[in-house]
Chain A
Amino acid sequence: MRAADRQREELQRQLLHAQRLDALGTLAGGIAHDLNNILVPVLGLTEYLQAGMAQDDPNRGILDVIRSAGERARNLVGQILTFSRREHPDRRDLCLAMFLQETMSLIRASVPATIKIEERFEPVPLISADPGQLQQVLLNLVLNSVQAIGANKGSITLSASYSHDGPLGRPGGPPQSWVCISVRDSGCGMNDATLKRMFEPFFTTKPAGQGTGLGLSVVHGIVTAHGGAVQVTSSIGNGTCVDVFLPATSSTNQPLPACDRASEAAE
């Protein structure tokens, strides 16, 4: 009975959390819509003026500054829309081990040499996911880990494993296989108050101007749109582990050496 009570409490907590994020998503989606309208004249009329301007016109540089600011705003709005699940994932079958290796080779450049990166990939089933969006998830998680480690020496462990049980408190339904991607770091960790709010858009613990507070809300939006879930364990001084659960498309594990062939077949 006590276990059942605990599970009910956990489900209620998750429901409240989901409702809060959903409300924030709707609000953020509305703001994104208005901002997209506002950006039409900023970007459109700048392009229009530049098109009719001589190459050596001294005002061309000023218009470049306006255009580049507008493009930054457009990217920010894109992130807000991703959080509020208003961006469609463009899915295809992915062999996770190979995808993670490729992605890490891109991300590695933004990780300082004082941080050691370890990769632990088990054979897992194929998943159906948007490669660009999943890359964004990993980039955001790794950058958060880098910031949590700061100037200290530390490590980030990226792992992929098969999960029979899936995320905690997942809704009932047909049995399903899950794949879990974990990003574990040896950083400063988070307290309970931060853990509760970490997926909210615009929530950040970084100094003003150093973070938009969108990174983890984008992670949450993308994973949820893929039918998955994010679970986080963290404590001050002991680092953080973020588990991203994604439904597998089959229950058959792809042996690691077969990845090349699987991905060629998917092309």
Chain B
Amino acid sequence: VNSHILVIDDDAGVRLTLQHVLTAAKFQVTCAANGAEGMLLFLDLQPQLVICDLIMPEQEGIETILQIKRESPQTKVIAISGGGRIGSTNMLELAQRVGADFAVSKPFSIPDLLLAVRAAMPELTKTAS
């Protein structure tokens, strides 16, 4: 079973945290610092799950999620954001409307995040249990 997760976030602290926590939970993790870099890695690695931040330089998250879902509708996406709303738009709600399977607001608790990851990869959880 492919247990590869791609993390796309412009904040190095967030990337490092997810790398530590997900590696400890036995996932293979690759990180990108923006949507453009993330798309290149996505096409190259074909991960089963993408965890994608929304407000990023170069290429932001909504556009990235749209591209991922266009390229590979079966790939699961968890949108993460600490921004809440921009103007009258709730960014996490918008991410789910454009295709993200789950949305988690920052700062998240690790059990909550792992819950979303396992819900996004149910085959893997079955294999593990």
**Could you list which residues of chain A lie within 8 angstroms of chain B, going by C-beta atoms?**
29, 32-45, 47-48, 51-52, 70, 74, 81, 85-88
Contact = CB atoms under 8 A, between A and B. Distances in A.
Interface stretch (B17-25, B39-47, B63-71, B115-123): B17-25
Contacts, number: 77
A43 B18 CA distance: 12
Nearest to B90: A88
B109 A47 contact: yes
Nearest to A51: B110
B24 A39 contact: no
Nearest to B21: A48
A73 to B, nearest CB: 9
A37 B82 contact: yes
Contact of A41 (B17, B109, B113): B17
B84 interface: yes
Contact of A48 (B24, B55, B82, B108): B24
Contact of B84 (A44, A52, A87): A87
Main secondary structure of the interface of A (DSSP, over half): helix
Nearest to A39: B107
B68 to A, nearest CB: 22
Given A33-B83, A87-B84, A88-B90, A43 B109 contact: yes
A174 B90 CA distance: 28
A81 B109 contact: no
Among A29, A32, A85, A86, residue most surrounded by chain B Cβ atoms (within 10 Å): A86
Interface stretch (B8-16, B27-35, B94-102): B8-16
Contacts of A43: 107, 109
A38 B13 CA distance: 7
Contact of A29 (B20, B84, B110): B84
Nearest to A37: B11
Contacts of B113: 44
Contacts of A39: 82, 106-107
B13 A33 contact: no
Given A37-B82, A40-B82, A43-B107, 19 more contacts: A33-B81, A33-B82, A33-B83, A34-B82, A36-B106, A37-B106, A40-B13, A40-B14, A40-B106, A41-B13, A41-B16, A41-B17, A44-B108, A47-B109, A47-B111, A48-B17, A48-B21, A48-B24, A87-B85
